[in-house]
Amino acid sequence: MTDPKCALCKPKYCHEGTTEDEKLPDFCPMKNFKAVVQNIKQKYGAEDIKDFFLSAALTEKEAYDEKAAREQGKIIPVRPRIREIAEFAKKIGGEKIGMAFCCGLSDEASKAHAILEGHGLEVVSVICSCGGIDKEEVGIPAEYKIRSPKDFESTCNPILQAELLNEAGTAFNVMIGLCVGHDMLFTEHSTAPVTTLIVKDRFTGHNPLISLYTRYHKNIT
């Protein structure tokens, strides 16, 4: 069976509602996984998914100027992602939400904390270095330390971040700048669903799109 390669498809036929086999590329999952496509369609009506899914759809709709979309067909965004996260939380009735953040984005985390609280949400936040554990204590070789191998260097502790937010019983958790790999461990161990507010990209000021948009990055990607 051919694996899906939607990123290589032009145009994105599904987005236009075109589903006839003869028009679709060979790697199209709509062509090769018809039963899966049909089965998944049913899942959105399930009791444990329906409200969550509808809240996501409404959050998406409200992210645009409704009048401009309806009357002029114009798609004009009206709110940033952090506002979308707050509005989504309210829609699902999630009064307590978690925040797992990187120490390097402490200022941003504290601002996000205040904004979300301003929306009436209770925020539980855990920093990556929680535990104050030296990297060597968890099996990381001294030479993997960023600074001197002789000095204390706290390990990121994504599993603890997840566990503390699990204990707090958050409705969902927001990641702020967790490292590649640590973000995956956090997601894997979080019992609540996870969304991202800020993705870490040290080189681009946490804007990974820059390396896709400019040719100045082509030799380092």
Q: Which residues bind ligand SF4 (CB under 6 A)?
A: 6, 9, 12-14, 24-25, 27-30
C-alpha distance from residue 89 to each of 51, 62, 98, 117 (Å): 12, 14, 11, 12
CB of 134 to ligand SF4, least distance (A): 46
Q: How far is the CB of 29 from ligand SF4 (least distance, A)?
A: 5
CB of 13 to ligand SF4, least distance (A): 4
Q: Quote the tokens at residue 207.
A: 């804007």
- With 0-12 / 13-18 / 19 or more C-beta atoms within 10 angstroms meaning exposed / middle / buried, residue 11 is exposed
Q: Considering beta carbons, is residue 33 or 52 the nearer one to ligand SF4?
A: 33
Structure tokens, 142: 């001294």
DSSP track, 19-76: --GGGS-TT-HHHH-HHHHHHHHHHTTSHHHHHHHHHHHHHHHHTB-HHHHHHH----
Closer CB to ligand SF4, 5 or 50, in the complex: 5
b/e map 78-113, b = 16+ CB within 10 Å = eeeebbbbbbbbebbebebbbbbbbebbbebbeebb
Q: Nearest distance from residue 9's CB to ligand SF4, in Å?
A: 3
Q: Which is nearer to ligand SF4, 29 or 104 (CB)?
A: 29
Residue closer to ligand SF4, measured from CB, 4 or 104: 4
Residue 19 CB, shortest distance to ligand SF4, in Å, is 8
φ and ψ of 198, to 5 deg = -130, 130
With CB atoms as reference, the residue minimizing the distance to ligand SF4 is 9
- In 3D space, the residue among 80, 26, 92 whose CA is nearest the CA of residue 56 turns out to be 92
Shortest Cβ 41–ligand SF4 spacing (Å): 14
For Cα atoms 142, 143, 147, give the angle at the middle one, nearest 5 degrees. 90
Closer by beta carbon to ligand SF4, 31 or else 182: 31
Query: Considering beta carbons, is residue 24 or 56 the nearer one to ligand SF4?
Result: 24
